[in-house]
């Protein structure tokens, strides 16, 4: 594990197996320098354990960066359960996951993610106090991640395109799940012109019906002549194959780990494409958790998520002035905050 390419000085990585209920899970806590590690629990039928480890290491690091760039008193963590949520998820398995989290004594706070739900958290909460969505208001549906992407996208179009609104803006949205679909709703309400793709034909049909979106094949979304490309599905989609095909000026979306490797940030910049760091654009969920402990009313939560737009505007202005990429600047800011929060080593 320590030689894994995605291991980034993670504080804790735990592999857990409960034979009685079939639980096979990995919990990764990347950093607690700024506060307890917060992040969702993803249940997915990974091809193998290495794929699951790669996912949990990358996602937990991303959670640290989300919290740090938004100056929240939280660290980064993530958990994955290896299995098909439609077939393998049971109350006993969820209870075992809750006990695993409880054993970390607050170093990791678990939330919902792909393959898990708020109802699943309620089962885990019988075993551990360290869960998100603990209040009634916090359990109400609220598209906080999509709203945060909207704030980042609005700031990016103002900075890069000189726009004062989104009416007529051409946006390609890749993926119509829990982030992509509500993002389409926000954009359509503001007059944007949408092109969409998804592996689920039903979701595509809904976007066409509800938002007047143009539908294209899954692999054709990269080739669309749009101003903004919004990845809201899988990670590692910005790579040697896709970047030369992009015709957008801005990449700003809700997917995690959009770059296949750090080198692809520079390759986007070389093509004149402004990349809004994914961990900034999609930080709405971690802001939501922090805010729900202060004031969990929906208006207060969305108001707190507004900060993503202000941070994006500041980062893009500094990037334009310095000639550095936005990701270079945000990475440096995160590392500085983490270093400042760590205790000084004892004197020799």
Domain boundaries, the chain: 12-132, 144-331
Work out the pLDDT band at 141, boundaries 50, 70, 90: low
pLDDT at 137: 58
pLDDT mean across residues, the chain:
94
* Range in 160-169, 202-211, 316-325, 334-343 the model is least confident about: 334-343
CA–CA dist 333, 312 (Å, integer): 13
Strand, helix or coil for residue 256? coil
Catalytic residue, chosen from 66, 78, 89, 193, is: 78
Which residues have C-beta within 8 Å of that of residue 8, sequence separation ≥ 6? 30, 57, 61
The two tokens of residue 225 are 């002549």
Q: Is 229 exposed, middle or buried (0-12, 13-18, 19+ CB in 10 A)?
A: buried
CA–CA dist 297, 303 (Å, integer): 10
8-state DSSP, 166:
-
CA–CA dist 254, 229 (Å, integer): 11
Nearest CA-CA partner of 292 in 183, 139, 152: 139
> Any catalytic annotation for residue 214?
no
CA–CA dist 121, 95 (Å, integer): 9
Same fold, 12-132 and 144-331: yes
CA–CA dist 130, 121 (Å, integer): 10
Quick one: what percent of the chain has pLDDT higher than 70?
97
Is pLDDT at 213 greater than 70 in this prediction? Answer: yes
Query: Computed over its alpha carbons, how large is the radius of gyration of the chain?
Result: 20
Other CB atoms within 10 A of residue 3 CB: 5
Strand, helix or coil for residue 75? strand
Contact 143, 300 (CB under 8 A): no
Question: For the structural domain made of 144-331, what CATH number should be given?
Answer: 3.40.50.720
* Range in 171-175, 226-230, 304-308, 340-344 the model is least confident about: 340-344
314: left (phi over 0), alpha (psi -120 to 50) or beta: alpha
Average pLDDT value for residue range 312-322: 98
* Range in 135-139, 149-153, 257-261, 344-348 the model is least confident about: 135-139
pLDDT at 135: 61
The sheet carrying 214-215 orders its strands as: 214-215, 193-197, 170-174, 228-231, 250-251, 274-275
8-state DSSP, 82:
E
The sheet carrying 108-112 orders its strands as: 12-18, 23-31, 75-82, 37-44, 108-112
Strand partners, 228: 171, 250
Work out the pLDDT band at 46, boundaries 50, 70, 90: very high
CA–CA dist 62, 111 (Å, integer): 15
Is pLDDT at 179 greater than 80 in this prediction? Answer: yes
pLDDT at 234: 85
CATH 3.60.20.10 is right for the domain spanning 12-132: no
Contact 301, 322 (CB under 8 A): no
């Amino acid at each position: 594990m320590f030689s894994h390419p995605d291991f980034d000085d993670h504080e804790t990585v735990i592999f857990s197996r409960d034979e009685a209920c079939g639980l096979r899970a990995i919990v990764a806590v990347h950093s607690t320098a700024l506060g307890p590690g917060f992040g969702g629990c993803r249940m997915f039928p990974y091809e193998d354990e290495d794929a699951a480890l790669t996912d949990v290491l990358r996602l937990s690091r991303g959670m640290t960066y989300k919290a740090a760039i938004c100056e929240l008193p939280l660290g980064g963590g993530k958990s994955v359960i290896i299995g098909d949520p439609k077939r393998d998820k049971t109350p006993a398995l969820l209870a075992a996951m809750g006990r695993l989290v409880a054993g970390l004594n607050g170093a990791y706070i678990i939330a919902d993610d792909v393959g898990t739900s708020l109802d699943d958290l309620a089962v885990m909460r019988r075993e551990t106090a360290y869960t998100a969505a603990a209040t009634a208001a916090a359990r109400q549906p609220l598209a906080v991640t999509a709203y945060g992407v909207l704030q980042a996208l609005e700031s990016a179009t103002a900075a890069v395109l000189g726009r004062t609104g989104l009416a007529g803006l051409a946006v390609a949205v890749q993926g119509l799940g829990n982030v992509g679909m509500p993002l389409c709703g926000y954009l359509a309400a503001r007059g944007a012109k949408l092109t969409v793709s998804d592996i689920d034909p039903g979701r595509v049909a809904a976007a066409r019906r509800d938002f007047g979106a143009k539908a294209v094949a899954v692999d054709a979304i990269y080739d669309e002549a749009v101003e903004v490309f919004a990845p809201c599905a899988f990670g590692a989609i910005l790579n040697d194959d896709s970047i030369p095909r992009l015709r957008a000026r801005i990449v700003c979306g809700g997917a995690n780990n959009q770059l296949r490797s750090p080198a692809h940030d520079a390759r986007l910049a070389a093509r004149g494409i402004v990349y809004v760091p994914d961990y900034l654009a999609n930080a709405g969920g971690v802001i939501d958790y922090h805010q729900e402990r202060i004031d969990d009313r929906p208006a207060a939560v969305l108001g707190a998520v507004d900060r993503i737009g202000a941070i994006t505007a500041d980062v893009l202005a500094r990037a334009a002035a310095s000639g550095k990429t936005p990701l270079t600047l945000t990475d440096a800011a995160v590392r500085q905050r983490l270093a400042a929060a760590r205790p000084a080593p004892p004197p020799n």
